[in-house]
Amino acid sequence: MSAEKKIVIVGAGPGGLTAGMILARRGFKVEIFEKEKKVGGRNGSLDFDGFSFDIGPTFLMMKFLLDEVFEEAGKESAKYLGFTRIDPMYRLYFSDGAIDMTDDDQRMREEIGRRFPGDEAGFDHFMAREKVRYDRMYPCLQKSYDQLRTFFHPDFLKALPHLSLGRSMFEELGRYYSHEKLKIGFTFQSKYLGMSPWSCPAAFMIIPYIEHAMGVWHVKGGLSEISRQMAKAAVENGATVRLGAPVEKLMLDGRAVKGVELEDGEKVMADLVIVNADFAHAMTNLVPEGTLKKYSRAALDRKLFSCSTYMLYLGVDKLYDMPHHSIVFSRDYNKYISDVAAYREPGDDISVYIRNASVTDPTLAPPGKSNIYCLVPVSNNRSGKDWSADGKFRETVLRTVMERTEMKDLDRHIVAERVITPNDWELKYNVFLGATFNLGHNLTQMLYFRPHNQFEELDNCYLVGGGTHPGSGLPTIYESGRITANLISRRFGVRFDSKNRQI
């Protein structure tokens, strides 16, 4: 039956490409429409003057999950992608020194003992206890939660005692460590969700555990290469990918989606449509106003959205002896993150993530040169700030990097550069409010309470990406694509053997 069913996918981001290559493998007629001239969306590349940058994600965790979705598309990831394990995973710069974080347990204990004496034993406690949490929670994240009864599934009931409901990640770290900066070093991962460690639910402690237990990976050519190779695999499986083909709107017959209309007026009919565009942008731009209730514009205005990011992409005419990933923490990290959440103007005491990928991958820059990627968490566009009028923030970012890291002369070696501000995320990349990490990940916007993979407000419409279950971040976005592909396959009675068997 699958060969008779046509699936249209709006957007060639990682979620849409995951679903597309799997569904095409299972015999569906898949057509993917992407408004840009290249695939990837926020997981795409930014190329200029001989330098290549990942636009967004730079950390690859849970590599096994990426391997699995390629396998379900009938492919072997290693034949498409070159993987390098990053060690140290990252260097953390505090106001009084730095620490290298590694997935080598013995070296990690030694680093903790050197930098935060007395807390070494807490690391073993952390790894043991958080493994139990991960083992209980991961099966829950693979379910679709399109019905409330999923909360009564045995897997969820087993996980419930390990969710630490009512506690934040930072509070939970108090079980393991006494030094505040060490706690920050194991909770800053909440930024992957666009949240603060002091408000991010403790259940997300599985993220730092995953890093330390499974490592962090780089892909040759940048993580944007994953999207390029997924598109290749999808086409090999029979899918069509149309670039430079922006979708104007979903075509509706009452509540039922019948296809899509492109900006040039072309109408493409389909049995089902998968929306991979930014969720809130899609609901406010691709669907006629007044169609939705639960996710109307007024309802979305009441939702919590993640922070945004200020991005600085620098082509540099030298190489720096620094790790692949580094983070400079503001001197008062709690205040800084609180200011971001409260939409307050960023001051001089900022935090900066720095990616020095050329130490691992020389293909990303011309010989003898390097690409330096800087990301600063800032408020989303609910702040009302006009970033086009702020020329000083770039200097604040550069000064912070030069004062706090080994890149003391960075400003003298910049030969090419691009900037993406929260305004750019919203206006150029169609990210609602410029909220880079999508809908917030508070408990009232997770699982059943997040937009469902089989979208509850429109018939024949499915969702993938950070705005649906399981949430933001590359691994969970791949999982969203797999969940949706499995739901559609089951709907039409298409048999398959999936690593994700509990939908």
Shared-domain flag, residues 442 and 295: yes
**Is it the case that residue 156 has pLDDT exceeding 50?**
yes
**Is it the case that residue 400 has pLDDT exceeding 90?**
yes
When comparing pLDDT for 470 and 1, which is higher?
Answer: 470
Domain total of the chain: 3
Shared-domain flag, residues 227 and 296: yes
Dist. CA 459–CA 455, nearest whole Å: 7
Dist. CA 90–CA 325, nearest whole Å: 5
Show the domain range for 346.
307-433
Shared-domain flag, residues 235 and 273: yes
Helix (H) or strand (E) holding 427: helix 422-427
Shared-domain flag, residues 152 and 241: no
Shared-domain flag, residues 422 and 313: yes
Whether the Cβ atoms of residue 340 and residue 390 lie closer than 8 Å to each other = no
Q: What is the pLDDT of residues 251-282, one digit of tens each?
A: 999 999 999 999 999 999 999 999 999 999 99
Neighbours of 1 (CB within 10 A): 10
Whether the Cβ atoms of residue 407 and residue 370 lie closer than 8 Å to each other = no
| Residue in the structure block whose two tokens are 């089989």 | 454
Domain boundary among 191, 214, 237: 214
Question: What are the φ/ψ torsions at residue 259 (nearest 5 degrees)?
Answer: 160, -160
Dist. CA 245–CA 247, nearest whole Å: 7
Whether the Cβ atoms of residue 418 and residue 459 lie closer than 8 Å to each other = no
> What pLDDT does residue 194 have?
77
What is the DSSP-derived secondary structure letter of residue 383?
Answer: G
Query: What CATH number should be reported for the domain holding residue 479?
Result: 3.50.50.60
Question: Residues 234-256: what's their mean pLDDT?
Answer: 97
Q: What is the pLDDT of residues 195-221, one digit of tens each?
A: 889 989 999 999 999 999 999 999 999
Considering only CA atoms, which of 108, 109, 104 is closest in space to residue 121? 109
Q: CB burial class (10 A; 0-12, 13-18, 19+) of residue 496?
A: middle
Shared-domain flag, residues 231 and 196: no
Q: Is the preceding peptide bond at 117 cis, omega within 30 degrees of 0?
A: no
Whether the Cβ atoms of residue 328 and residue 351 lie closer than 8 Å to each other = yes
Shared-domain flag, residues 225 and 331: no
Half-sphere exposure of 433 (CA within 13 A, CB side): 26
When comparing pLDDT for 147 and 405, which is higher?
Answer: 405
Non-local CB neighbours of 28 within 8 Å, separated by 6+ positions: 2, 3, 5, 6, 7, 488, 494
Domain boundary among 214, 231, 262: 214
Shared-domain flag, residues 116 and 177: yes
What is the DSSP-derived secondary structure letter of residue 305?
Answer: B
**Is it the case that residue 328 has pLDDT exceeding 60?**
yes
> What pLDDT does residue 152 have?
83
Shared-domain flag, residues 346 and 387: yes
Considering only CA atoms, which of 303, 430, 340, 475 is closest in space to residue 42? 430
- Domain-embedded: residue 118: yes
Q: Name the pLDDT band for 292 (thresholds 50, 70, 90).
A: very high
**Is it the case that residue 157 has pLDDT exceeding 70?**
yes
Token output for 93: 């710069």
Dist. CA 264–CA 21, nearest whole Å: 26
HEC states along 179-240? CHHHHHHCCHHHHHHCCCCCCCEHHHHHHHHHHHHHCCEEECCCCHHHHHHHHHHHHHCCCE
> What pLDDT does residue 77 have?
98
Domain boundary among 410, 433, 456: 433
- Domain-embedded: residue 209: yes
- Domain-embedded: residue 98: no
Considering only CA atoms, which of 112, 94, 90, 96 is closest in space to residue 326? 90
What is the DSSP-derived secondary structure letter of residue 346?
Answer: P
- Domain-embedded: residue 409: yes
Query: What CATH number should be reported for the domain holding residue 199?
Result: 1.10.405
**Is it the case that residue 341 has pLDDT exceeding 80?**
yes
**Is it the case that residue 501 has pLDDT exceeding 70?**
no
| Mean of all residue pLDDT scores within the chain | 95
**Is it the case that residue 503 has pLDDT exceeding 50?**
no
Shared-domain flag, residues 109 and 76: no
> What pLDDT does residue 1 have?
61
Shared-domain flag, residues 232 and 210: no
Dist. CA 459–CA 206, nearest whole Å: 34
Neighbours of 24 (CB within 10 A): 26
Whether the Cβ atoms of residue 492 and residue 5 lie closer than 8 Å to each other = yes
Token output for 242: 């149309």
Considering only CA atoms, which of 238, 398, 215 is closest in space to residue 310? 398
Q: Which segments of 92-179 does DSSP mark as H helices, in order?
A: 105-115, 120-141, 154-159, 169-173
- Domain-embedded: residue 177: yes
> What pLDDT does residue 500 have?
65
Non-local CB neighbours of 330 within 8 Å, separated by 6+ positions: 336, 349, 350, 351
- Domain-embedded: residue 95: no
Shared-domain flag, residues 10 and 76: yes
Whether the Cβ atoms of residue 136 and residue 162 lie closer than 8 Å to each other = yes
**Is it the case that residue 447 has pLDDT exceeding 60?**
yes
Q: β-strand 267-269 against 256-262: which pairing, if any?
A: antiparallel
- Domain-embedded: residue 496: no
Alpha-carbon distances, residue 486 vs 29, 144, 181, 334, 453 (angstroms): 15, 10, 42, 41, 10
Q: Can you give the C-alpha Rg of the chain in angstroms?
A: 22
Considering only CA atoms, which of 139, 137, 140 is closest in space to residue 162? 137
Percentage above 90 pLDDT, the chain: 87
3-state secondary structure of 290: coil
Considering only CA atoms, which of 432, 417, 384, 494 is closest in space to residue 283? 432
Dist. CA 334–CA 156, nearest whole Å: 32
Token output for 452: 């469902």
Q: CB burial class (10 A; 0-12, 13-18, 19+) of residue 4?
A: exposed
Q: β-strand 51-54 against 45-48: which pairing, if any?
A: antiparallel
Query: What CATH number should be reported for the domain holding residue 385?
Result: 3.30.519
- Domain-embedded: residue 427: yes
**Is it the case that residue 502 has pLDDT exceeding 80?**
no
